[in-house]
Structure 1
């Protein structure tokens, strides 16, 4: 069975289909049927017809940005691997994105390998999570991963510094999924964005999984970790992806609210006078001025 259909037939996913997909306009769902049968990968991403569109959209967008800015290879990160379905899915998506963009990927998953640690206090939402949640069969998972994917196990505070030493401008970090549930683990994960600017795209799409839980607020959980990151880093800011819902064909999807961007304001590309590009112009048809005609 197609993985997309296998996934949506799960009881918890069926309810989301009814709430999100079937409330879209009829013409969108009719068009979706044709795209599902005949569309290419990019068009399927446009219509949310891939497994985990919350990964497919930002990875494809990161690859397009990489091409625009002159990169050939990107590093993709997942914090909180658990059983590994998301990491395997990232590998499949990345392979498809490489086919249509030419961008190659290094994929890295971070996890304790033993389930969640003990919560530190109320900020870690102990009413929702506990030590030992989301265990992993790491031997079986490692055996299923492609050559461009690695699984790094252990506390993030211990494994992240060594990893960051392996990242450089030849394969900057271009996407990260943060799905570690706790405030404390999210704060540790976000420290990946504190290194020198050449290790990142100027704009890094981020999927923040746990900002949607009903008990999360600006003083607990992942939301608190993001706010503290922004307060502590003058030139690095994490913000929601501007007007993403308005730009999507299927506008009711919950995942849209989870997509954010890391803005690397001290990146060379975002520094005046460091890059060359063609002059931008705007025509004015009301007074008969066309810079396009002049250029021709």
Structure 2
């Protein structure tokens, strides 16, 4: 944690981001954060954005809560675009702590070509920002050794590995979170095919983090946003949409990661069927009677 903070404070862009996102928030919330950092539960630290890669932490905690409400004991989390592996290892660390607090287990998978980015195909891959060879896996063997037993690295062309992977997903551990960090439009399009399996292989609400939609070149006609728009147009019962009113639900509202969080709604999930029977009838009270 200390090394991570030193890295952030040593980077001018990251220092500016901390200034804009955190120090512009109300003083009493920043003071309260000190108390939460020292004495709060892991869930409270996530609520106060005190966890490394809070965007992953929020999504993984929500996935665990959704699963627990459905009496599901395990959730599958996926990162597309592993590169050096810091994000994948961070997911492992976060989920370990979430499991301790919620009891929900995680199966974790990281997908990467292992060779860095392939050549961009056309303007939709944002070639002005990304190029061939970017973000290779630096030390595959060392990364494999660092992964816990519930995490696996899948190396190869995503177009080939994803279809086989979908076959292995069990309803006992549905997909609850995917992080898409593959930079290119074509790669993102292949990643999203992981959401086209049988409905019960997913939570009714599957959280998605789109990493590269915040760069200046990003727009609905290129990159990940184009892949999402085409996914929605091509699929009647699977729809990806920004997490509704998420900014209003957060304690700290200036942070950028909020705009990167989307949800895949599995509209053909049995929980969303009119035939599904709720176990408890909802009744409203009337304070005027």
What interval of TM-score do these two structures reach, taking the shorter chain for normalisation? over 0.9
Query: What's the secondary structure of 1:202's corresponding residue?
Result: strand
Tell me, yes or no, if the aligned pair for 1:4 and 1:50 is still in contact at 8 Å.
no
* Counterparts of 2:231 and 2:16, CA distance in 1: 34
Runs of 4+ in 1 over 3 A off after TM superposition: 1-4
Q: Following TM superposition, by how much is the alpha carbon of 1:16 offset from its aligned partner in structure 2, in angstroms?
A: 1.2
Distance (Å, rounded) in 1 between the aligned partners of 2:159 and 2:257:
28
Equivalence for 1:291:
none
* Structure 2 counterpart of 1:198: 200
Cα shift at 1:7: 4.6
SS at match of 1:74: strand
Match of 1:293 in 2: none
- Of the structure 1 ranges 267-276 and 106-115, higher mean CA displacement relative to structure 2 is found in 267-276
How many angstroms does 1:3 deviate by? 5.3
* Alpha carbons 1:3, 1:51 under 8 Å: kept: no
TM-score by length of 2: 0.97
Check the 8 A contact 1:74/1:171 in 2, yes or no.
Answer: yes
2-structure distance, mates of 1:3, 1:75: 29
Distance, in Å, in 2 between the alignment partners of 1:39 and 1:223 is 36
Q: CA deviation at 1:37?
A: 1.2
- For 2:188 and 2:171, locate their aligned partners in 1 and report how far apart those are by CA, in whole Å: 25
TM-score, length of structure 1 as denominator length: 0.95
Q: Which residue of 2 aligns with 1:109?
A: 110
Structure 2 residue 25 is the aligned partner of structure 1 residue 32? no
Query: Structure 2: how far apart are the matches of 1:91 and 1:53?
Result: 13
Q: 2:10 is matched with which residue?
A: 10
Alignment gaps of 5+ in structure 1: 289-296
Q: Secondary structure at the match of 1:263?
A: strand
Is the partner of 2:203 in helix, strand or coil?
coil
Displacement after TM superposition at 1:144 (Å):
0.8
Distance 1:134 1:232 in 2: 30
Counting matched residue pairs gives 287
User: 2:263 aligned with 1:261, yes or no?
Assistant: yes
Distance 2:2 2:284 in 1: 46
Counterpart residue number, 1:132: 133
Q: Please report how far the alpha carbon of residue 168 of structure 1 lies from its aligned counterpart in structure 2 after TM superposition.
A: 1.5
1:91 aligns with 2:92: yes
- CA–CA distance in 2 between the matches of 1:145 and 1:161? 23
**1:1-296 maps to which residues of 2 (within 5 A)?**
2=2, 5-11=5-11, 12-136=13-137, 137-286=139-288, 288=289
Distance 1:7 1:34, change over 3 A: farther
